[in-house]
Amino acid sequence: MKYANRRTFSLVLLIVIVGVCGCRRSLFPKNQQRTQFEAYNTMRFGPQITEQPDLFGLPEPALRERLGKKE
């Protein structure tokens, strides 16, 4: 029983340490392109608009700009 408690405590401690220390920086920073195609599109068309204010001034996803305008 003593061995099981020690093993459980060690496992919980390991999970806490990994959770605290493991996720320090984001995987894909927002200021860098992810692919060569995104870099090309940014150079050609400018930065992509991801959010726009709605009627009340709150940010919402800019789906029309991202998916293309209907003509």
First to last CA, the chain: 72
- In whole angstroms, what separates CA 2 from the centre of its chain? 42
Note the pLDDT tens digit of each residue in 23-60. 677 777 777 777 888 888 888 888 878 889 999 999 99
Query: Counting beta carbons within 10 angstroms of the beta carbon of residue 33, is it exposed (0 to 12), middle (13 to 18) or buried (19 or more)?
Result: middle
Chain segment 11-23, per-residue pLDDT in tens:
888 888 877 776 6
- Where do the H-state alpha helices sit in the chain? 2-21, 36-45, 63-67
Place 70 in a pLDDT band, splitting at 50, 70 and 90. Answer: low
